[in-house]
Amino acid sequence: MHHKSLHAARAGGVLSVVLLGGLVAAAPQAAGADGGCSTNVYKRTFYKNTSFSGSPVRTDCDSAISQSWSGSPAAGVPSNNFGVRWSVTRDFGSGGPFSFTASATDGVRVYLDGVRKVDLWKNTGDTARSKGVDVTVPSGRHTLRVDYVNWTGAAKVKYTYAPRTSATYDRTKPLAPTGVKTAYDTKTRRTTVSWSANKEMDLASYGLYRRPVGSSTWTKVTTTTARSHTDPLVNPDDRTPYYYEVRAKDKAGNTSSGSTDTIVRPLPVVTSVTGTYDKATGKVTLKWPLNTEPHFDHYTVLSNDKVEGSYEWVPLGTTKGNTWTTDPVVPDGEWRHYRVLVTNDGGTTTYNPPWLSAGATNELWLEIPDGIAPAYAPELTLGTCADGVRATATDYTPAPIRDFTGFEIERRVAETGAWSVVLHQGFDPRQSNATAGLCDRLPADGLTYEYRARSYDAAGNYSPYSDVRAVTVPQG
């Protein structure tokens, strides 16, 4: 009969003790013929020889290497001249100084990533001996392997590895914590921060820090061994955003750099607003990124409109979506100003100043295309000039209120229906009356020609046509 250690599998599995992020946690020991084991648990293989050759007789899982066998260690394995191999690949976090300690009767060897670190390889019968070595383990994932052989007599083997936590030896900073998440409660106006377990084996505690957006000064919120904490700070008005970060500290007193700063906005922010104007419908469509914060409730869309002689921000409506289409807007070529506010589920809404804010991300300044044509037709006069007809368009609107930038004059042979442009020209702004004309040279063909004129603005809108004027050219 053989006696297994307390760590050997019983009835398909027991609870094993595993170091996770510096905290002791109970984890079920997995065992199976395929050798798949839980995180940081050794895969153990038995051989019926001392050369570890051929297929293993048995494969299972072992949470710790601490065995004492009297006789066969497993069915199909002889009492003498057998081998057992343990291997595990785990994340050592930032790495650093470790101690490896092994003791055994007969032969035991310890390897780190295939490099031998302990070598006690001699038939000692029932007498055990031990050896300890100091090893610097690099950061990240590495493989430990322990080979044990029993030639004759009692079979005893034990191996442990542990970080050296004295500040004299350990000067390696822990890895910065990851997986930081925040949750803001609009009822209590407090923030809860959580994070993933650090992979360090010598973790002592975590430090949680905060700073207001726009400040470079961090304030320590707490020191804890837990992986979440509710900040006791009550946000005064739901509008002050803060950054949070978490730092890890090991047992040697080394402190990690901060985790990636995570911003908490008690009031979600509209980061941009875009808009388009549809000439066909005369409507403006606004769009912005949809907020996904759990404390988001709705948006309010506003337009800056003239009310009783002064401009005010007028609410157009509310929505939970991220688009809004306005009622038709007069296509007057003027600027329109829109703003999108956010309200959280606690009822607090984005600050809404009465003025325009050119740098505000939740504000849009949109130039509406000019779709209003000049209201009146110019006056058209015809006269004579060398070898042709002088056509002149004139408008008497005072300069400060002119809504056009030039004139166009067209001509055709009387009643043919085919008009052609003979002048498209801006007027001389120095003249008291706006006027433009040309000497239209024509052949002496005895035909009657008709003329008409209109004005146009900078947006390409045209006024009504003037009355049609006609002139007959003498036949030469």
Residues 156 and 199 in one domain: no
Residues 362 and 278 in one domain: yes
The arithmetic mean of pLDDT across residues 397-414, rounded, is 94
Q: What is the pLDDT of residues 84-114, one digit of tens each?
A: 999 999 999 999 999 999 999 999 999 999 9
Please check the confidence at residue 345 and state whether its pLDDT lies above 60.
yes
Task: Report how far residue 235's alpha carbon sits from residue 242's, in angstroms, rounded to the nearest whole number.
Answer: 10
Residues 151 and 19 in one domain: yes
Decide if 372 is inside a domain.
Answer: no
DSSP code of residue 460: S
Residues 38 and 73 in one domain: yes
pLDDT at residue 15, as a whole number: 32
Residues 416 and 383 in one domain: yes
pLDDT at residue 58, as a whole number: 97
pLDDT band, residue 49 (cuts 50/70/90): very high
Sign of CA dihedral 374, 379, 381, 386: negative
pLDDT band, residue 430 (cuts 50/70/90): confident
Decide if 2 is inside a domain.
Answer: no
- Asked whether 147 and 109 are in contact (CB, 8 A), the reply is yes
Residues 304 and 354 in one domain: yes
pLDDT at residue 20, as a whole number: 32
Q: What is the pLDDT of residues 449-468, one digit of tens each?
A: 999 999 999 989 999 999 99
Please check the confidence at residue 29 and state whether its pLDDT lies above 60.
no
Residues 201 and 321 in one domain: no
The arithmetic mean of pLDDT across residues 308-331, rounded, is 96
Decide if 10 is inside a domain.
Answer: no
pLDDT at residue 464, as a whole number: 97
Tell me what percent of the residues of the chain surpass a pLDDT of 70.
Answer: 93
Decide if 9 is inside a domain.
Answer: no
Decide if 399 is inside a domain.
Answer: yes
pLDDT at residue 417, as a whole number: 81
Closest CA to 164 of 145, 130, 137: 137
Residues 362 and 289 in one domain: yes
Domain range for 55: 15-163
Tell me what percent of the residues of the chain surpass a pLDDT of 90.
Answer: 88
Q: Which CATH number fits the domain that encloses residue 185?
A: 2.60.40.10
Question: Which tokens is 453 given?
Answer: 């004129």
pLDDT at residue 10, as a whole number: 32
Report CA-CA distances (Å) from 279 to 282, 332, 370, 440: 5, 12, 10, 37
Residues 386 and 358 in one domain: no
What pTM was computed for the model? 0.71
DSSP code of residue 370: B
pLDDT band, residue 386 (cuts 50/70/90): confident
Q: What is the pLDDT of residues 132-165, one digit of tens each?
A: 999 999 999 999 999 999 999 999 999 999 999 9
Q: How many domains does one find in the chain? A: 4
pLDDT at residue 229, as a whole number: 98
